[in-house]
């Protein structure tokens, strides 16, 4: 499918609805409740907490999630990608990298759209730890069900939904750079 065809993608005939908007909303509220309960623990009281939106995919999810969080936090973003506008990953590229002054001595929360192969999120987690984060917790809207995950066993601390092993888009995930804004999750028909 070329770029011009992508612009005219018919959501009613060319794609399958994988997860509805209502289910996404319920999941985000449930994740927020888990996070609110977790970060009420004494070890986090009066401690600096910074939430990083992992751009670009984490933007939609972060915006929806943050409105339900009740604990004080700072918000920032970082941008590391293996995909660009491609459908398969390559070498990790940093566009915006956190620095030691931002991270050191803080509890860090990483907010991302999907845990696919997990290499990007694992590299970001490792970088935050290397920069002196007190703790690092990752939160993802979706976890793709397949066996291609980090050899280290790394996985997110909080997961909203498991999704089938298809190329999905919506809720921050793109198809050829488009459709991140959709409030539900879709996949192209097989």
What DSSP string runs through 95-121?
Answer: EE---HHHHTT-EEEEEEEEESS-HHH
For residues 73 and 47, give the distance between their C-alpha atoms in angstroms, rounded to a whole number.
Answer: 9
Closest-CA residue to 27 (of 144, 140, 117, 112): 140
What confidence tens digit (pLDDT) does each residue in 65-122 have? 999 999 999 999 999 977 544 545 567 788 999 999 999 999 999 999 999 988 899 9
Provide the whole-model pTM. 0.90
Could you tell me which residues come within 8 angstroms of residue 160 by beta carbon, excluding any fewer than 6 positions away? 27, 28, 30, 31, 140, 141, 142
Q: Spelled out in words, what is the top-level CATH class assigned to the domain 20-164?
A: alpha beta
């Amino acid at each position: 499918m070329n770029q011009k065809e992508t612009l005219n993608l018919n959501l009613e005939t060319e794609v399958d609805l994988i997860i509805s908007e209502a289910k996404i909303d319920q999941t985000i509220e449930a994740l927020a409740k888990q996070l609110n309960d977790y970060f009420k623990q004494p070890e986090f009281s009066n401690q600096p907490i910074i939430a990083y939106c992992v751009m670009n995919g984490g933007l939609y999810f972060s915006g929806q999630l943050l409105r339900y969080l009740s604990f004080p936090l700072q918000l920032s973003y970082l941008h590391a990608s293996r995909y660009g506008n491609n459908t398969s990953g390559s070498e990790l590229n940093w566009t915006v990298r956190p620095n030691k002054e931002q991270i050191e001595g803080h509890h860090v929360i990483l907010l991302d759209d999907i845990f696919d192969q997990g290499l990007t999120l694992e590299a970001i987690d490792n970088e935050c730890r290397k920069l002196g984060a007190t703790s690092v917790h990752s939160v993802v809207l979706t976890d793709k069900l397949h066996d291609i995950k980090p050899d280290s066993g790394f996985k997110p601390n909080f997961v909203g939904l498991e999704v089938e092993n298809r190329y999905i888009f919506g809720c921050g995930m793109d198809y050829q750079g488009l459709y991140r804004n959709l409030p539900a999750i879709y996949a192209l028909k097989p």
